[in-house]
Amino acid sequence: MWYAGGMNHSRRSLLATAGLAAVAVAGRREPCLAGARAVPAGRVETTNPIGISTYSFWRFNEDSKVEIAECIRQSAGMGFDGVEILHMQMEKEDNAYCQSLKREAHLSGVCLMGFSTHQSFISEDAAVRQRNIDHTKRCIDLAARMGIPTMRINTGRWGTTKSFDELMANRGIEPPLPGVSEDTAFGWVTDAIAECVKAAADAGVVLGLENHWGLGLTPQGVLRIVNAIKSPWLMCTSDTGCFLEDPYDRLEMMADQTCLIQAKTYFGGGKWYTLELDYPRIAAMYRKHGYRGWVSLEYEGKEDWSTAIPKSLDVLRAAFKA
């Protein structure tokens, strides 16, 4: 049984006052399983558990990479329910290291609830695509070793814009590879992810395809792949900060197939851009679609994480409360 610990005092008081403690305890099992769906008639709706990506402590700043075990301890101390591990932040991949992170989370009273990975299946070279398939399968194994139920994946980028700063200046839009149609690229990505889904099903890890540049720049692109594969082990990771225009309508298109929400905040202004996101509106929309799963903070602002992350948690707690 998974238990999402770290519930702060105010939430405990709220549950006790409302007489919902028993319901909340029973409901803690499902949010750790990606893709929990609509609340049955007559059942009291529970608060979405709030996790945090270890990316929030690092944000790819060269001088501030925080070791994952420390991220876990800091997250627990701030009152988060769970931690999403950024694969690129891991110092090692051996089994002893993975188990040490699982132990740290258990002793800190939080779930390891998500694994965020990078890959690209957009390449004319079949060997490159296969290396990314193999990498993704290795990450699925790492997630399973740590008891993590869902893993973020990407389609990958076209790679025709060499600088990420330039890509962000162009709102995530880049030209396709010369002579390559979108249909061809969708075929590459769909075939590659379908192979990864087989490994995910064997390991019990739900893959969440994120709206994250490349062919995942639009909800239509994400859903084209998810609907083509049609597996319960492939859903959507919905990133609130990766639709730079019309985010609410676009997020809602993926809501019914979402297994994890990654929620961006930008205290102090964003490194590449800043979005003014209406989290009560976002929470109400997902609630309408019966989403009861995890919300994972991805803090992406310039303010020091030690002050910005607690403020971000307050924002998400207030928006996603029952």
For the entire predicted model, the pTM comes to 0.86
Spatial CA neighbour of 24 closest among 57, 1, 56, 46: 46
| Of residues 14 and 63, more confidently modeled | 63
What pLDDT score was predicted for residue 9?
37
Q: Rounded mean pLDDT of the chain?
A: 88
Q: Is the model's pLDDT at 299 over the cut of 90?
A: yes
What pLDDT score was predicted for residue 10?
38
Contact 224, 185 (CB under 8 A): no
Contact 146, 101 (CB under 8 A): yes
Residue 45, SS3 per DSSP: coil
pLDDT tens string 168-185: 888 889 999 999 999 999
What pLDDT score was predicted for residue 36?
46
Q: How confident is the model at residue 27 (pLDDT cuts 50, 70, 90)?
A: very low
CA-to-CA distance for 75 and 250, rounded, in angstroms? Answer: 30
Q: Is the model's pLDDT at 35 over the cut of 80?
A: no
The tokens for 124 are 């004319």
Residue 60, SS3 per DSSP: coil
What pLDDT score was predicted for residue 168?
87
Spatial CA neighbour of 322 closest among 43, 3, 45: 45
What pLDDT score was predicted for residue 24?
35
Contact 52, 75 (CB under 8 A): yes
Each domain of the chain, given as residue ranges in start order, spans: 9-320
User: What percent of the chain has pLDDT above 70?
Assistant: 86
Q: How confident is the model at residue 43 (pLDDT cuts 50, 70, 90)?
A: low
For domain 9-320, is the CATH number 3.10.20.310?
A: no
Provide the residue type at 250 as one letter: R
User: CA torsion angle for 17, 19, 21, 24 (degrees, to 10)?
Assistant: -100
What pLDDT score was predicted for residue 21?
34
Contact 108, 142 (CB under 8 A): no
CA-to-CA distance for 273 and 163, rounded, in angstroms? Answer: 15
The tokens for 184 are 């061809």
- Count CB atoms within 10 A of the CB of residue 52: 31
Contact 259, 237 (CB under 8 A): yes
Contact 295, 288 (CB under 8 A): no
Spatial CA neighbour of 225 closest among 242, 210, 213, 243: 210
| Of residues 14 and 297, more confidently modeled | 297
Q: How confident is the model at residue 127 (pLDDT cuts 50, 70, 90)?
A: very high
Helix spans in the chain (H): 9-18, 21-27, 55-58, 68-78, 95-108, 126-145, 164-169, 182-203, 219-229, 247-254, 279-288, 305-320
What pLDDT score was predicted for residue 23?
32
What pLDDT score was predicted for residue 130?
98
DSSP secondary structure, 95-131, as one string: HHHHHHHHHHHHHHT-EEEEEE-------S-HHHHHH
